[in-house]
Amino acid sequence: MQGLVWKFGDDIDTDAIIPARYLNTSDPQALAKHVMEDADPTFPQKVQPGHIIVALKNFGCGSSREHAPLAIKAAGISCVIAHSFARIFYRNAINIGLPILECPEAAEKIAAGDEVRVDLNSGTIYNLTKDETYQAAPFPSFMQDIMDKGGLIGYVQWRLQQQ
């Protein structure tokens, strides 16, 4: 996947990703209309399918609302790269099949507007604008299994079939 980067700072919380005032629905497309708007009011209008979010530490802290990764995914974001993720956001992203990568070097060096190419299998991130390559740690095989089955629901279906 390859796309233009939106850059955010530390501790982007789930209220910034999707404020609770919009949580009277769980329709991903309706949520996507307001995604990130309290962090950057122009984001919902300007984000294009394939764009990539890069953030610093503790992305997705706060609430357990799965509406946050759902809204990001529905807005067409292809991948989120961060220095670190809050733990519930991290597992939600894996469970719903939103690609994420933890890579402090990429989070620090990639700037807003850079063009970035991501290889999820190898965890390699190539910055076309700066001609730099960063390496994210690969996922443990257990999580890779969940992602390979399209998320946790696919994984549970597979487990039930095994029984």
Partner 1 sequence: MGMTIAEKILARHAGKSTVKPGELVNAKVDMVLGNDITAPVAIKEFRRIGVEKVFDQERIALVPDHFTPNKDIQSAQQAKLLRDFAREQELTYYFEVGRMGIEHALLPEMGLALPGEIIIGADSHTCTYGALGALATGVGSTDMAAAMAIGEAWFKVPATLKFIFNGQLQPWVSGKDLILYLIGKIGVDGALYRSMEFTGELISALSMDSRLSMCNMAIEAGAKCGIIAPDQVTFDYVAARAKRDFTPVYADEDAEYEKVITFEGADIEPQVAFPHLPENTRGISEVGEITVDQVVIGSCTNGRIEDLRTAAQIMKGKKVAKNVRVIIIPGTQNILRQAIQEGLVDIFLEAEAVVSTPTCGPCLGGHMGVLAEGERAVATTNRNFVGRMGHPRSEVYLANPAVAAASAVTGKISAPEEVM
- Please state the closest distance from residue 36 (CB atom) to partner 1, in A: 12
Cβ within 8 Å of residue 21, ≥6 positions away: none
The reply to whether 29 sits near partner 1 by the rule CB under 8 A is: no
Query: Which of 54, 58, 107, 116 is in the footprint of partner 1 by CB under 8 A?
Result: 58
- Of residues 117 and 149, the one with the C-beta less far from partner 1: 149
- Please state the closest distance from residue 54 (CB atom) to partner 1, in A: 17
- Give residues 135-154 in contact with partner 1 (rule: CB under 8 A): 140, 142-143, 146, 151-153
Q: What are phi and psi of 85, to 5 degrees?
A: -115, 145
The reply to whether 1 sits near partner 1 by the rule CB under 8 A is: no
- Please state the closest distance from residue 115 (CB atom) to partner 1, in A: 29
The reply to whether 87 sits near partner 1 by the rule CB under 8 A is: yes
Residue 141's beta-bridge partner residues? none
Residue ranges binding partner 1 (CB under 8 A) = 11, 13, 15-16, 19-21, 23-26, 38-39, 57-58, 61-67, 69-70, 84, 86-88, 91-92, 95-96, 140, 142-143, 146, 151-153, 155-157, 159-160
